[in-house]
Structure 1
Amino acid sequence: MTMVENVRNGLLIGAAPRDEGGREPWFLDPREILRSVRLRWITVLLPVLLFLAVAAAWTRLNPPQYAASTQILIDPRGLQVVKDGLTPPDQASDASLLLVDSQLRVLTSDDVLGRVVDRFDLSQDPEFQGRPTLIGAVKDLIGRLTGRTEPPADPRLTALRILRDRTGARRLERSFVLELGVTSEDREKAARLAGGVAETYLARDAATRSDTTRRAGEAIEGRLAELRDALRKAEDKAQGFRAKRNIVGTRSQLVSEQQLTQLSDQLGAARSRALEAGSRVRQIEGVLAGGPSDSVTEIVQNPTITALRGQLAGVERLRADAEDTLGRRHPSYQAALVQEKALRTAIEAEIRRIAAASRNDYQAAQASERSLAATLERRKAEALKVGDDFVQLRELERQVEASRAVYEAFLVRARELQEQQRLDTSASRIISPASPPEKRLGPPTPVVFVAALVAGLGVGLVGSLGLELLAGRVRSRRRLEGHLGRTGLDALPRAPRGIADAAALRGEFGSVRGDGAYEVAVARLRHRLAAAPGKSSGSAPLVVLVTAADDRAGKAVLARSLALSAAADRERVILIDADPEGSLTRDLGLAARRDLAEALRDRTALTEAVVELPSGVRVLPRPGDLPRSLAGNLADALLRSDADLVVVDLGLVGGDVVTERLIADERIPELLLAVSAKRSHLAAVDRALKAIGPARRPRLVVTDAGLRE
């Protein structure tokens, strides 16, 4: 029979499996994810239904909420109505931000919200009294059963608590604007409450400012009487001390001090005049001694001397003319000399008179200086006597001035605060009134259900993948290849019902040859085994050992299918039941003419122990007791048989000694390890490969795999 095989890359006939490094985990493969979803669709569906039910309950139990907001400008500067306000009109930026944050707390304080509750009568509003819930009902029932019932809550406190939970405020970034939001089940009510909270806050702020100003004014007025009495006592004490010590003067200076100042000034002036007069006397005396007279002001500016000098100049000219024209003996010349001498004598006499007057002035100036100096010394002595008293008087007067300054400042401030009580200096105002909102809070109902669907799918997918990881099943050839790091594993699709059962082996359905996917896959596997390297040449049969890690049923079906496929191709086939369970022998109900154990002891051919079935398959039933010492004889008998293909249905790996001895026999190179995609576990496969050891490299065959793997 000639068959054309359409094999995948890496599954060429005779190609040895190779290791593949860096293969991604199976749970990252979309095909494996879809496979897990199909297998565990209930795990995916239950979270979806649960989340959808929760979403439906949430939309049913939570009535729609609407949020209305308003914006309030908090101006920390205030209005500069009067010169000195109670609070500073301008502050640093950091302090202003702290002030706005503080007003944010005041806006949502219980004082403001409590007045809103009273204003809108929220204590009678069912929305603000709390709706009955299942948890509350359970608590009430437990309380009644245990006798620990709580007293009914105050309606006003309940409304205040609910309003506090539904009110939120925040400061907008980089501004002094507060945004206030209030939620309610009614659009109009939400807008009314938001506006009411803002208006109540502004009214309370103005009232607080006025009350603070009033209390400050009352405190100042309470001190005015004390300050007035203190001022009067200080003034009486200062005036009594002045009268007792006979101190006369102004508040700033005594009379004696004024006289000392005047005498000191007069003494200075007298000394200046004396010095000036002495200087004139010395200059005039120098002129009389023969010095120049042009440097003395009194002589130069004297009109008599000036006239005499003019006459002297005229006489000197006449004398000079007479000397030149008439000679020195002439009477005119002599008369001129007489006149010149008389004029010079007159000038000298005038200078002496000026000198005498200057000496008199100098003496008078010195006398005045001495008199003023004496008087000043007497006044100094008198001033020293009242110095200590005046120091005490000044201290008393300073106390009077201090008491008067404090009293006047308090009096002015009290009058200002009385007027400020009637003024609203706050610049805070509502810049964005609240309006009824258009949309409800939260996502729309379709979005809630879509989110629940997506969340349920996500939880379901993660749960299904997690359960798959915990289950550790093989599921597919691709997953097994990824786990073992090997490619090229053989795979068989799901076997049709009854294709390898006892009736098919007996030939009750006629020929088992077919062109189905399963028959083609079994034939391909058989031809690969026949073409595998290491098979002995000649007339030795192809001996194939079939075992499994934990899938006894899949192993038995694989062994029977290989035998039926070879029998359909007119090959001589022997199917040996070496499974301790003896399922093949039990299903067929066979009894050989000779016991297999006796034939192996005698080392005779297996012909007498073989039962030939109508399907062409010869079956070697398992004896009741096959000693482990005969395992080697069984291998020899299998290799000496006259069949083309010998299929040995072994037990599970590690199940019995005979199976282990046959697996370890290196004369039989073909070892098939059947792995069920549905029933086998990866851990069992690992244990089986570890038990087989690295010396033998079994061919893994994934049974009941998908057609598209």
Structure 2
Amino acid sequence: MTTSRFPEMFQPRDQFPQRPRYAIEVGGTTLSAERALDIVRRQWPLIVAIVAGTLALVLVYLIVATPMYTANARILMDTRQTQVLDKDSGTANALIDPGFVDSQVEILQSDDLLLSIVRRLKLTEDSEFNGSDPGLIPLVIGKVIAMFGSDGPPSKERVERGAVELLQKNLKVERVLTTYVLSMNFRSIDPNKAAQIANAIADAYIVGALEAKYQSTKRAGEWLQQRSAELREQATASDRAVQTFKAQNNIVGTSRGLMSEQQLADVNSQLIAAHAATAEAKARLDRIEALLDKDLVQPTVTDALNNTVITRLRAQYLDLAAQYADWSTRYGKTHQAAVNLSNRMDELRKAIADEVRRIADAYRSEYEIAKSRETALEDNLKNLVSQAGSTSQAQVKLRDLESAADTYRNLYNNFLEKLQNATQNQSFPISEARIISTAVKPDKKSSPKTLLALAGGLLGGLCFGFGAAFTKELMSDVLRSPNDVEDQLGVKCLGVLPDIRPARASADHPEANISSYVVEHPFSRFAETLRNIKVSIDVARLSREVKVIGILSSLPKEGKTTVAANFGHLTALTGHRTLLIDGDLHTRSLTRALAPHSKTGLVEALKDPHSFGYHIQRSKESGLDFLPSVVASRMVNSADVIASKSMADLLAVVREEYEYIVIDLAPVMPVADAKAVSHLVDAMVYVIEWGRTSRNALQESMASSEGIQKKLLGAVLNRANPKMLKRIEAYKGSHYNSYYVEGA
């Protein structure tokens, strides 16, 4: 029978505090804030190692990296400079298309512009650009590439191309926000060289823009001059063709149009005037002829003719008529004086008639003249109309020739004006760009940035560290914390038992020195955790009968036998009558550890349950009663034996004698013993090996027996790494373990 020393110290039970959980599902695994903290506590050495390695790499990089210096120059796209040559430019023309500004970025990084810088500054002779001092890593890479084929020493063009590519690599040109300013940064290992090359690129860009504009204007001027000469010849030929056609067709032009058209218009106007004159003459003639038949001395005739001679003669006639009337009345009409007056009145009447006839003759003559003139004009108009009809086809062709001549003349004038403008622009080339900030020697390096690199290394190390830690934990299918147990089984974790196995156990009895560990170390964490299990059982006993307690696990070698033995010792040490039964009829490891020399045990007790006392082995140190299992060979019907009526009768008998009956049951997954005896057990404590038992094994073993699930009081994590526990429980403070005494 195993002997051991009594414990010397007492320690509080290991119980993990319950904290609020904020969980998410990650790949089917619940990841809560509490579990994340546990992962960090368990894996902080890995996180620290990765962070330290990352910072070490960053430091090595900072040490071996070549410092680079960046010089900055700025160029403004300003169209106002070109407006002095553009008379028609307005406010709208001053706006620049954003695409134009972006195009200038590409020009600044173009191969031709940078090649001019390489040749002007002789950068092919500079070790930074010709590859003569590439550094260790580029040198090794170049040698390896050369082993697979090389065309000999690099040519001048190849060296220049390499220098251009390096310039493009170290040159960065970008537009400043939405402005018309281009920011140009160039990096170099030499601050003076960085400023020199940046300014050289800016100057080359300005000169190149001027040269491009000059060459473009020059080519445009040459083309315009050649084209103007051609248009001048074409315009002259067109004018000559117009004049020749007019001469051939007798077409004479005036300031108001063609002469034939002008003559036709004049004759038409004259004919209209002749028609009016003839009508007027005819009207006067008809009027005078109508008066010849009337009394010419009547006032209406005189007023109608409005002639001074007739008016004077009529006045004389009226005077004589008045005297004749007076004398006729006074002396009679036969008086010689009255007769003389009558004769004189007749003479005046005849004179008036003669004057009217003379006027009528004059009107008739005027009418005949007007009629003759009208006839002549009508004949002339007919001739002109006839001539215009014969020359209408010629006028159509003339208009075509004149239109062509005007077109060539206008084109010639436009091209001549453009030629003058091009000549002026060629004489005064002005660029749209100007340098507003020249590059100066940088006073500090631009890369590598020490603080930024260290901060980035620290942040990257933390990200990689946490990623590796969480990946390691989430990919691991084992349980390491009470929360894992509770999430997996749905029952309370009764504690975490530290690994008490010695570094080197005895070859014959590898577990003999730990089966009574609580007797030798009563104030250890292991003992206090077992006390927590006992307290949980005692609490359960307040509401129901709990005497028969099964200790089981999913797989062999998880330490359930050690837990059962030490729990029995601990309960017995507290003064309670306790019976420990080796119920694992397959391996009988508990019997080998506590009573290796027993001759009888459980199998014999089952034959006569009331005589079980003859098979009991008692520990003198703790007072624990132990019922071993002694069989000659492994039993085929162990599940039937352990779940038989004899076993039920035996348990009924021992219930009367003991307060606690602890049974070390066989593992759940390999054999069916624990499932078979579950109906005879009041409560079960599940032992899970810390960091070894997989979740799948635990799920499978629990799902295989509903009886075990109903009787399960709680679970305990066994064989936890003590050093890992200290890291995990660092949040409990440095004095948490002061109550534990692991030594004897």
> 2:603 matched to 1:592?
no
Q: Which of 211, 219, 223 lines up with 2:223 in the alignment?
A: 219
Corresponding position: 1:698 with 2:712 = yes
| Counterpart Cα distance in 2 of 1:412 and 1:659 | 111
Q: Taking structure 1 as reference, are residues 311 and 44 closer, same or farther at Cα in structure 2, changes over 3 Å only?
A: farther
Match of 1:78 in 2: 82
8 Å Cα contact 2:67-2:447 kept in structure 1: no
CA distance in 2, matches of 1:297, 1:405: 71
Query: C-alpha displacement at 1:607, in angstroms?
Result: 1.8
Matched residues in 2 for 1:114 and 1:661: separation? Answer: 90
Q: Which has the higher contact order (CA 8 A, sep 6+)?
A: 2
Alignment check: 8 A CA contact 1:563 1:617 kept: yes
Q: Which residue of 2 aligns with 1:653?
A: 668
CA offsets per residue over residues 597-633 of structure 1, 9 Å max, x none? Answer: 2342355522222212212112222223454242222
Aligned counterpart for 1:617 among listed residues 624, 639, 645:
624
Closer, same or farther: CA 457–220 of 1 in aligned 2, 3 Å? closer
Q: Distance in 2 between matches of 1:343 and 1:167?
A: 128
**Which of 440, 452, 467 is the aligned partner of 2:472?**
467
Contact 2:186 2:197 in 1 (8 A): yes
Structure 1 residue 248 displacement after superposition: 6.7
Q: Is the 8 A contact 1:72 1:179 kept in 2?
A: no
SS in 1 for 2:275: helix
Structure 1 length-normalised TM:
0.81
Cα deviation 1:21-75 (Å, max 9, x = unaligned): 9866797555533432333234213321332133224323242231413122242
Report what 1:526 is aligned to: 534
Is the counterpart of residue 185 in structure 1 residue 200 in structure 2? no
Question: C-alpha offsets along residues 238-261 of structure 1, whole Å, 9 cap, x if unaligned?
Answer: 666666x48373488665555444
Unaligned 5+ runs, structure 2:
1-9, 503-509, 737-744
Pair 1:49-2:52 in alignment? yes
443, 451, 458: which is aligned to 1:446? 451
2:14–2:528: 8 Å Cα contact kept in structure 1? no
Deviation of 1:480 (Å)? 1.9
Give the TM-score, by structure 2 length. 0.77
Q: Which moved more, 1:559-568 or 1:578-587?
A: 578-587
Shift of 1:361: 0.8
How large is the Cα RMSD of the aligned pairs?
A: 4.6
How far residue 364 of structure 1 moved from its aligned partner, in angstroms, is 0.7
1:17 corresponds to which residue? none
In structure 2, how many angstroms separate the alpha carbons of the residues matched to 1:22 and 1:231?
92
Counterpart Cα distance in 1 of 2:207 and 2:96: 23
Instruction: Give 1:512 shift.
Output: 6.3
> How far has the Cα of 1:398 moved from its partner?
5.9
Aligned positions of 1:196-207 closer than 5 A: 196-207=200-211
1-structure distance, mates of 2:434, 2:470: 60
CA distance in 2, matches of 1:297, 1:330: 30
- Aligned CA distance change for structure 1 residues 177 and 593 (closer, same or farther; 3 Å): closer
Distance 2:101 2:334 in 1: 123
Give distance in 2, aligned partners of 1:158 and 1:296. Answer: 124
8 Å CA contact 1:591, 1:621 repeated in 2:
no
> For the Cα contact (< 8 Å) 1:191–1:436, is it kept in 2?
yes
Counterpart AA for 2:450: T
- The 1:440–1:259 alpha-carbon spacing in structure 2 relative to 1, beyond 3 Å, is same
| Aligned mates of 2:198, 2:341 — CA distance in 1 | 128
- The percent identity for this pair of structures is 25
Residue 61 of structure 2: aligned partner:
58
CA deviations over 1:563-616 (Å, ceiling 9, x no partner) = 112211222222122233322222235323435423423555222222122121
Q: Is the 8 A contact 1:143 1:149 kept in 2?
A: no
* In structure 2, distance between residues paired with 1:282 and 1:574: 173
Write the distance in 2 (CA, Å) between the matches of 1:297 and 1:187: 124
**Per-residue deviation at 1:366?**
0.4
**Offset from partner CA, 1:411-466 (integer Å, 9 cap, x none):** 56555544442221444322333334455435731221122112211211121122
Structure 1 counterpart of 2:6: none
Counterpart secondary structure, 2:252: coil
In the aligned structure 1, how far is the partner of 2:687 from the partner of 2:196? 77
- Structure 1 counterpart of 2:651: 638
Deviation at 1:545, TM superposition (A): 0.9
Cα distance, 1:121–1:599 mapped onto 2, change above 3 Å: same
Matches for 1:400-411 after TM superposition, within 5 Å: none
Q: How does 1:66-215 map to 2 (within 5 A)?
A: 66-75=70-79, 78-81=82-85, 96-130=97-131, 132-133=134-135, 136-148=138-150, 151-152=153-154, 154-215=158-219
CA distance in 2, matches of 1:104, 1:645: 88
User: How far did 1:478 drift?
Assistant: 2.2
Do 2:47 and 2:469's aligned partners in 1 also have CA atoms closer than 8 Å? Answer: yes
**How many angstroms apart in 1 are the aligned matches of 2:432 and 2:582?**
103
Query: What CA deviation, in whole Å up to 9, does each residue of 1:76-112 have, x standing for no partner?
Result: 883353769xxx9997799834444434433332222
1:568 lines up with 2:570 in the alignment: no
Q: Structure 1 residues 424, 24: closer, same or farther in 2, change over 3 A?
A: closer
Instruction: Determine helix, strand or coil for the equivalent of 1:575.
Output: strand
Residues 257, 667 of structure 1: CA spacing in aligned structure 2 closer, same or farther, 3 A cutoff? closer
Partner of 1:15: none
117-126 vs 511-520, which moves further: 511-520
C-alpha distance in 2, partners of 1:36/1:99? 57
Contact 2:493 2:716 survives alignment (8 Å): yes
User: Are the aligned partners of 1:202 and 1:429 in contact in 2 as well (CA < 8 Å)?
Assistant: yes
- Give the Å deviation of 1:304: 3.5
Name the amino acid aligned to 2:117: V
364, 371, 377: which one aligns with 2:369? 364
SS of residue in 2 equivalent to 1:78: helix
Aligned counterparts of 2:354 and 2:139: Cα–Cα separation in 1: 142
* Alpha-carbon shift at residue 164 of structure 1 (Å): 1.9
Tell me the alpha carbon deviations over residues 272-316 of structure 1, each in whole angstroms, 9 at most, x when there is no partner. 211222222234444556699999999465333455566677788
1:273–1:365 CA contact under 8 A, matched in 2: yes
Whether the 8 Å CA contact 2:14–2:525 is kept in 1: the answer is no
Q: Classify 1:365/1:662 alpha carbon distance in 2 versus 1 (closer, same or farther; 3 Å).
A: same
Q: How far does residue 383 in structure 1 lie from its aligned partner after superposition?
A: 5.7
Check the 8 A contact 2:582/2:590 in 1, yes or no.
yes
For 2:465 and 2:17, locate their aligned partners in 1 and report how far apart those are by CA, in whole Å: 36
| 8 Å Cα contact 2:558/2:688 also seen in 1 | no
Alignment-derived partner of residue 476 in structure 1 = 481
Cα-to-partner distance string for 1:134-168 (whole Å, 9 max, x where unaligned): 55434433345445466526222111111122333
8 Å CA contact 1:231–1:403 kept in 2: the answer is: yes
**Cα distance, 1:344 vs structure 2:** 6.7
Shift of 1:194: 2.6
In the aligned structure 2, how far is the partner of 1:177 from the partner of 1:291? 110
Shift of 1:524: 4.5
* Rounded Cα–Cα distance in structure 2 between residues aligned with 1:315 and 1:6: 178
Cα contact 1:601–1:630 (8 A) shared by 2:
no
Query: Does the C-alpha gap of structure 1 residues 550 and 41 become closer, same or farther in structure 2, counting only changes over 3 Å?
Result: farther
Given that residues 590 and 611 in structure 1 are in contact (C-alpha distance below 8 angstroms), is that contact kept between their aligned partners in structure 2?
A: no
Partner-residue secondary structure (3-state), 2:97: helix
Aligned residues, how many?
A: 684
Counterpart secondary structure, 1:447: helix
1:23 and 1:417 mapped to 2: Cα distance?
A: 77
Map Cα deviations across residues 166-194 of structure 1 (whole Å, 9 max, x no partner): 33333444444333333333334333323
